[in-house]
Amino acid sequence: MSRLLQWVFGRLPIGWLQLTHKRGRFAAALAGVAFANVLVFVQLGLMNSMATATLKPYGFFQADVMISAGNANALAEGNNVARQWMLQALADPDVTEGMGLFVGNVPWDRGGNEIVFTTFGIDPARPAFLAPTVSDGLHLLQVQGVAILDRLARGLPADEAAAIRPQTPLRFETLGRTLTAMSTFAGGGGFGGDGFMLVSDQTFLSLFPSRTSAAPDHILLRLRPGADVTATVARLRGVISDKTLRVRSYADAAQEDLHYQQTQRPTGVIFGFGVLIGVLVGLVIVYQVLSADVADHMREYATFKAMGYGPRFFLGIVLEEALVLGLLGFLPGLAIGTAILTLMAKVTTLPLLMTPGMAVTVFVGTVVFSALSGVIATRRLAAADPADLF
């Protein structure tokens, strides 16, 4: 390693030699940087999981435009929308199909272990609105009381979920009704529920007697292929006289929901602060490591200064140390961070993943922040007066 760095820098790798001279301290420094990485990985993992969990249900459906109530910041929030607006939207030449989407939470009491399903009531006669990942067994929903269950739902044993088939359905009681799960799809636990469930709109209305078919939670629209979604949305906003409604492209609705979750909901704000705190703590740790190293070698730096070495030389040493710490601290941080996220995902069923994007972001951030800390730490060197050596 020493020879490699010597070849890279064209000089003695003093930073490396200093760091590795006291192996125990070097290990502690690497542990500090790795810890900072783990901290950021976990916080980023949580924040990303919220984003993944928020966007996941949008992936169950295939729509171009969504009409929602003005206060419907999220898929499962807000007032209802009158079905009449769907009929009006269908008059647009580019709108080919419409479907009312009902959303509600359905608890399943499993004898002390309650699973809350975020339940979507859909029209099984309109399969085009369902993504292929969830449409398996969709025709079964035409039978009243049939459900398609999320086999990854938190609290649902995997073997029990795997056994659900039309021939071996799973019956359960909820909200005073009996539902029959005949098929499954891969959803996963989120922050608003333990998993998802698909039922027909008629079954949904039987579960929620206070709701009516004339007022779904959202209206989904599909446009003819090649239609301009932005232009259609603009036209629909013009013809729908209820200006309190939100007429958006489906993609915009998903992004606005995500933005709302990240900036308005307590969990999103907390996770965002978590990342910020993780980064700040990481910065402090790296700075402390480098700063302590500079302080430890102040007399040697003063000697080099007396010999005629200039500020760029010292900056080079500290940046070299920062780079070494950033690189070598990242690898165990990545390994431990991945292990923790995997464990947390298993326990919580939240989509906690170590993504390549996260790894690259944290790696670049670690190197940049390490370098930044190094630059700040070299300011202490200005205090090293070589005349004091005599």
Partner 1 sequence: MTDAPIVAVKELNHWFGTGDARKQAMFDITLSLPRGSFTVLMGPSGSGKTTLLTLVGCLRAVQDGSVRLLGRELLGAGADELTRQRQQLGFIFQAHNLHESLTAAQNVVMGAQVRPGVPDDIAQKAAARALGLVGLSDRMDYLPANLSGGQKQRVAVARALVGNPALVLADEPTAALDKDSAADVVDLLKRLGAARGTTTLLVTHDPRILDRADRILTLEDGRIVSDSGKQ
- For position 6 contacting partner 1 by CB under 8 A, the verdict is yes
Taking contact as CB under 8 A, which single stretch among the options 5-13, 27-35, 59-67, 365-373 is the one that binds partner 1? 5-13
- The distance of closest approach from Cβ of residue 8 to partner 1 in the complex, given in angstroms and rounded to an integer, is 12
- The distance of closest approach from Cβ of residue 297 to partner 1 in the complex, given in angstroms and rounded to an integer, is 8
Which listed residue (107, 155, 316, 386) binds partner 1 by CB under 8 A?
Answer: 386
- For position 24 contacting partner 1 by CB under 8 A, the verdict is no
Which listed residue (1, 4, 8, 11) binds partner 1 by CB under 8 A?
Answer: 11
Taking contact as CB under 8 A, which single stretch among the options 156-164, 214-222, 239-247, 294-302 is the one that binds partner 1? 294-302
- For position 14 contacting partner 1 by CB under 8 A, the verdict is yes
- For position 3 contacting partner 1 by CB under 8 A, the verdict is no
- For position 298 contacting partner 1 by CB under 8 A, the verdict is no
Judged by CB under 8 A, how many residues of this single chain contact partner 1? 23
Q: Which is nearer to partner 1, 364 or 382 (CB)?
A: 382
Which listed residue (35, 260, 309, 363) binds partner 1 by CB under 8 A?
Answer: 309
- For position 299 contacting partner 1 by CB under 8 A, the verdict is yes
Taking contact as CB under 8 A, which single stretch among the options 74-82, 116-124, 319-327, 381-389 is the one that binds partner 1? 381-389
- For position 310 contacting partner 1 by CB under 8 A, the verdict is yes
SS3 of the chain: the string is CHHHHHHHHCCCCHHHHHHHHCHHHHHHHHHHHHHHHHHHHHHHHHHHHHHHHHHHHHHHECCCEEEECCCCCCCCCCCCCCCHHHHHHCCCCCEEEEEEEEEEEEEEECCCCEEEEEEEEECCCCHHHECCCCCCCHHHHHCCCEEEEECCCCCCCHHHHHCCCCCCCEEEEECCEEEEEEEEECCCCCCCCCEEEEEEHHHHHHHCCCCCCCCCCEEEEEECCCCCHHHHHHHHHHHCCCCCCEEEEHHHHHHHHHHHHHHCCHHHHHHHHHHHHHHHHHHHHHHHHHHHHHHHCHHHHHHHHHHCCCHHHHHHHHHHHHHHHHHHHHHHHHHHHHHHHHHHHHHHCCCCCCCHHHHHHHHHHHHHHHHHHHHHHHHHHHHCCHHHHC
- The distance of closest approach from Cβ of residue 324 to partner 1 in the complex, given in angstroms and rounded to an integer, is 13
- The distance of closest approach from Cβ of residue 371 to partner 1 in the complex, given in angstroms and rounded to an integer, is 21
Q: Which residues are at the interface with partner 1 (CB under 8 A)?
A: 6, 10-12, 14, 17-18, 20-21, 297, 299-300, 303-304, 306-310, 386-387, 389-390
